[in-house]
Amino acid sequence: MSAPGTRPTEAELTEFRDRVRAHIAEHAPSFGAREGHRAPETPEQEAQLRSWFASLFDAGFVGADWPVEFGGRADHHPLHDRIVSEEILRARAPRPVDQVNLAAHVLLHFGSDEQKSALLPPIRSSEHVWCQLLSEPDAGSDIAAVRSRGVQQPDGSWVLDGQKTWITDGHWADMGLALIRTDPSSSRHHGLSVFVVPLAAPGVEVRPIRTINEAIEVNEVFLDGVTVAGNSLIGEAGQGWSIIMAGLDFERFGIGGNVILLELLSDDLVTVARHGLIGGVPAIQHEDIRQKVAEFAVEVEVAKAFIDDHVERMVAAADRVGDGSIAKLSFAETYHRISAYGAELAAMVCTVAADPTVELAKQRLKECWLWSRAYTVSGGSNEMMRNILAKRRLLLPSR
């Protein structure tokens, strides 16, 4: 990724924010974002999403931190990324696919010149949507326990076999970033390698998994004798653990960086509390409910403060080990607590007349609650995040 440039002035940041808002108003899809329903449900939605994502790259709002020779901007600054993320979320427009960002990050840092030239342009044009082929039925968040195997052939190609599960966006992705064990005598973090796998390759089978909110977001992916070329290997054989860990640290902060979603959740909670009635009076007038809403508002501000602080440290090249895990934990747990309480409150209150604003807020709280547990697992479970912080940040012994 490119190094941060000169810090923009407040006037420049305001002008940039105005341009982002104008772009969203003109180019965002006709349908809004829904938590737990982020994947396209029709060919028309998929076409709109791909066009929308490509427009963000074309405008220099996404991928601006890439090296200039691959489409990045010389005037890029991390604060620009923050503004783009905030405005997309506040507009409730579909946000770029996290797995695509991770794939680009891995390719830029570990890919060969040939891989970058071949694989980065289709990301920018949204010809390629990516997924991560990491988790397995017996591994879950402990991806060091993967058992999918790869065997190199005399001609340099590789044959891959195994099963991956909980693969976000696998049913409409074009490419996968697969973690495979290439040394059969190895265990845990050793002997792992990363491959680029076209999802249309012979031997790849994708089976969608319908989630509790009646959506298809995740999938099982089976690799049955899938042959990939030798140049599909990213980095060196056996380097897979360090490659994926670098990518996941990037993803975890991205999850935590969605902190504006917490603001939107809090807004919906306040809407329901103010306009929903319990015992004939607005729910917000009940002291226990008012106190709870206030406590959640404080939690949101704490999460935002951490993200703000981390961005400033990142700009100053003073990042600290474990910041991504803290951001991910703070976001995921706050999101779950607010949405769970909001869904419960939405089920308790009644409204005198149908109010579309209130009904939409109630629907969003329910959808967020049903999806909230996914955030506690995505990018590594919260339990794994605590283990990482204990070892890397606090330097505690393993035993």
Could you read off the pLDDT of 34-55 as tens digits, one per residue?
999 999 999 999 999 999 999 9
Q: What is the mean pLDDT of the chain?
A: 91
AA letter at 93: A
The position carrying tokens 């400033």 is 312
Quick one: average pLDDT of 295-319? 86
- Higher-confidence position of 94 and 350: 94
pLDDT tens-digit map of 131-145: 999 999 977 667 788
pLDDT tens-digit map of 254-285: 665 688 999 999 999 999 999 999 999 999 99
Helices 98-110 and 240-256 meet at what angle, rounded to 10? Answer: 140
| Amino acid 3: pLDDT | 52
The band of 251, judged by pLDDT with boundaries at 50, 70 and 90, is low
pTM score above 0.85: yes
Quick one: average pLDDT of 333-337? 95
On whether the CB atoms of residues 103 and 37 are closer than 8 A, the answer is no
Residue 253, pLDDT > 60, answer: no
pLDDT tens-digit map of 59-104: 999 999 999 999 999 999 888 988 999 999 999 999 998 889 889 9
Q: What percent of the chain has pLDDT over 90?
A: 72
Say how far apart CA 168 and CA 255 lie, in whole Å: 14
Quick one: average pLDDT of 368-378? 90
| Amino acid 130: pLDDT | 97
Say how far apart CA 144 and CA 13 lie, in whole Å: 42
Say how far apart CA 196 and CA 149 lie, in whole Å: 14
Q: Which structure tokens are listed for 195?
A: 């491959």
Quick one: average pLDDT of 210-220? 92
| Amino acid 256: pLDDT | 54
Quick one: average pLDDT of 169-184? 96
Say which range, 42-56, 93-107, 359-373, 375-389, has the weakest mean pLDDT.
Answer: 375-389
Say which range, 112-126, 226-240, 250-264, 352-366, has the weakest mean pLDDT.
Answer: 250-264
Say how far apart CA 175 and CA 12 lie, in whole Å: 37
CA angle in degrees (0–180, nearest 5) for 58-64-66? 115
